[in-house]
Structure 1
């Protein structure tokens, strides 16, 4: 049996499981940072899912102000471990510097994607079911309101039509296009 026959399914499993768990840690970090409702069922699920490794890390890594550094360390460690395993399965060696830079780049990309999809989902929910308030709407509001509030300071009110989601989506896409390619090029130079 060919080694690559089993390599691709193993890589798929590693990518899927690590990505889902890193997403859970990032959502917990963001919800904690923006002061979301801790008793929301989605928040409770994220806390229970991510609590065991974070409890251990918090013994050694203190928070810096409002920033939960344990969550950041956990996300980066998991991303680097998953990337290392995938690169090794593909038979490619990579330096620790390139691995760290790739991990940071992937986490920044995930952050942009979480914000983009959250803003899009919030806008979609406001069109389909305006005024509804449930666990998902509350989480989406908590995640997106800090960035939308900043955009509303610069965008005038146009007769009840809020263009801040559109402006923030455009800004986030531009930021992805400006920030991620140089990081990718730097990682390839270090590798």
Structure 2
């Protein structure tokens, strides 16, 4: 049963990550002709196209992708208890806010890894790789405001490190919010 649990949850997490990456690509207006962007669109389009007829976009945000990612995270929370036979071990009043917090956490994890990969590629790549330009487009909206406040010093750009520290701080805040949510709901 652990194997099945692992496989199902991994598929849900990966597809959720691709959906949220698609939303972020649309928000920052990334180049959709990039080969990696085309991969993201081709993987998500069969599911998103019918949903868009029911759930329209709001501004630059692809609402259908966000709603589907939210539903997948709800499944990710509920499925393990049903697969283990506990069935509904988590109170449903906790599932929806917990899923929302986990959705925001998933966005933070994606941004974290995009920044890490961009930093690593900046050391080894010559900038001619299509993924380099896409990573620049995806991470620059976060790093540029910090770079305006704290410019590069001695050729070192600290903006990536500062964004990562902010993401870590938000992750700690997430834990505090979840503990508060549990205390309010259970007592």
Tell whether the structures are fold-level matches, with TM greater than 0.5.
yes
Q: What is aligned with 1:121? A: 117
Partners of 1:121 and 1:184 lie apart in 2 by 32
Structure 1 residue runs of 4+, over 3 Å off? 187-191
The Cα RMSD (Å) is 1.8
Q: Deviations over 1:48-89 (max 9, x none)?
A: 111122111111111111111111100001111232221212
State how many pairs are aligned.
Answer: 184
Q: 1:150 aligns with which of 121, 145, 148?
A: 145
Partners of 1:110 and 1:184 lie apart in 2 by 18
Q: What is aligned with 1:99? A: 95
Q: In terms of mean alpha carbon deviation, does 73-82 or 157-166 score higher?
A: 157-166
Deviation for aligned residue 1:184: 4.8
- Which segments of 5 or more consecutive residues in structure 1 lack a partner in the other structure? 1-6
Q: Deviations over 1:114-162 (max 9, x none)?
A: 1111111111111122x42222212211211000011112103324321
Deviation for aligned residue 1:187: 4.7
Partners of 2:62 and 2:182 lie apart in 1 by 26
Give 1:34-53 correspondences, 5 Å limit: 34-53=28-47
Normalising by the residue count of structure 1, what TM-score does the alignment of the two structures yield? 0.88
SS at match of 2:54: coil
Partners of 1:40 and 1:30 lie apart in 2 by 15
Normalising by the residue count of structure 2, what TM-score does the alignment of the two structures yield? 0.90
